[in-house]
A = this chain, B = another copy of it.
Amino acid sequence: MTQRNPNLAKLHATYLFAEIARRKQQFLQENPDARLISLGIGDTTSPIPQHIVEGFHHAATCLGDEATYTGYEEAFGRFELRKRIANKLYHSMVEAEEVYISDGSKCDIARLQLLFGTDASVAVQDPSYPAYVGSSVIAGKTGSFNPDTEQYEKIVYMACTKENGFFPDLSTTPRADIIYFCSPNNPTGETPTRQQLEELVAFTKKNRSILIFDTAYSTFIQDSDSVHSIYEIEGAREVAIETSSFSKMIGFTGVRLGWTVVPKELRYDDGTAVADDWKRILSTCFNGASNIAQIGGIAALDPEGIEASRHLINAYMENAKVLREAVELKGYTCYGGVHAPYIWVDLNGKKSWDAFDEFLYDAHIVSTPGAGFGPSGEGFLRLSAFGKKEDIQEAAKRIKTVLQEKVSS
């Protein structure tokens, strides 16, 4: 008589990355000798810089020594790490006590759902990183999936298209309690301007909504004018939570380390501090990020670590440039790839799953179809710039030669 969570039944039958894996498997069965190059899932490929690896070694050695062994970490993360994030990454725009260490942004995105009831309404950029929608569905904040619109009921999809410069038209956007926003954006790779983010904060404030701002790719921003954190925008501390991650910054995808900032000023409608509930949720549902990862994170935020991170990111951004050039040489327009490791290829009207199959079968390249990120992603293909330099160069060659006639039309 024990029933399934009815919200799980609402989940769209084909989960994006599972469907990609299925098609890839099928291709490999038919073509066992093909040398596939993955420009699909955004997974880091460069080794972690030695300075940070030394941090891991130090942490491991301490754990093996009677005098330096530690058990459970400090609540909400090692204070030295919280302090460095506040000082080095936020230039003291936030306090160390407002930084809560996690095992990664995706996990925090799911936990953040618990701050709000099932009645809360959700807005997402369309296209967007699938975890915002997926965790909202599981948490019971949505209606059913409508196969005609490719949308879940009760979710506000804020279309981000080439026509609006990938920033939603807020003048026609309905109010939602929670607004998920990712900048630089995954999957489009586009970064909103300061003025656009001022509009977003004003919109959130006017609607008395709460903004959940995801900056997992902010260290990829190449100029100092662009906004790295929502707290650079006046008034953001009263309306925004920011979640971010070491994953892409320094190759920690498998190491698992991230954080979420909940400013002291942020309150619910009844005046309760959101941070108090966040602490309660973390205490009940979480037990901290791995101490070894945290000590690595501390090393990543000293001058040597920050310098190493810059090198790592520059190499990925070189990849992005190579891919962009290959795509543009074929006459295609693409977006992103300048302040983010994703290139968003405009397919000139072709369906994104068709283009995915062509890339797979004709160029032996795994990509991600734009439609997987939401209905406004149809007609686009996401190429990830994570990869070894030689693989990216080979991929660029394949894009330039094999796909010439196929994709253009």
* Interface check A30, CB cutoff 8 A: no
Say yes or no: is A117 at the interface (Cβ < 8 Å to chain B).
yes
* A4 with B268, Cβ < 8 A, contacts A56-B292, A255-B292, A284-B135 known: yes
Residues of B within 8 A of A303 (CB): none
Which residues on B sit within 8 Å (CB–CB) of A138? 114, 280-281, 284-285
Measured between beta carbons, the chain B residues less than 8 angstroms from A65 are 47
Kindly state whether residue A11 has any CB partner on chain B within 8 Å: yes
Could you tell me if B287 and A256 are in contact, using CB atoms closer than 8 angstroms? yes
User: Total interface residues on A, using CB and 8 Å?
Assistant: 89
Other-chain contact of A277, B8, B140, B386 (Cβ < 8 Å): B8
Stretch of A66-74, A153-161, A326-334 at the chain-chain interface: A66-74
Say whether B69 contacts A63, CB under 8 Å.
no
Rounded to whole angstroms, the CA-CA distance of A61 and B291 in the bound complex is 17
What chain B residues lie within 8 Å of A7 (beta carbons)?
A: 117
> What are 8 A-B pairs with beta-carbon distances under 8 A?
A2-B208, A4-B117, A5-B277, A15-B280, A46-B69, A49-B64, A109-B285, A290-B292
Task: Kindly identify, within residues 115 to 132 of chain A, every residue whose CB is under 8 Å from any CB belonging to chain B.
Answer: 115-120, 130-131
Checking B8, B175, B286, B291 against A280 with a beta-carbon cut-off of 8 angstroms, the contacting residue is B8
Identify which of residues 158-211 in chain A touch chain B, using a CB-to-CB cut-off of 8 Å: 175, 177-178, 207-210
A247 to chain B, nearest CB (A): 8
Q: Does A43 contact B (CB under 8 A)?
A: yes
Q: Which of A100-108, A219-227, A362-370 contacts B (4 or more CB under 8 A)?
A: A100-108
Q: A114 contacts which chain B residues (CB < 8 A)?
A: 5, 8, 138-139
Q: CB of A57 within 8 A of chain B?
A: yes
Residue of B nearest to A256 (CB): B290
Contacts of A149 in B (CB 8 A): none
The answer to whether A209 and B2 touch across the interface, beta carbons within 8 angstroms, is yes
Q: Is there contact, CB below 8 Å, between A64 and B48?
A: yes
A87 within 8 A of partner (CB): no
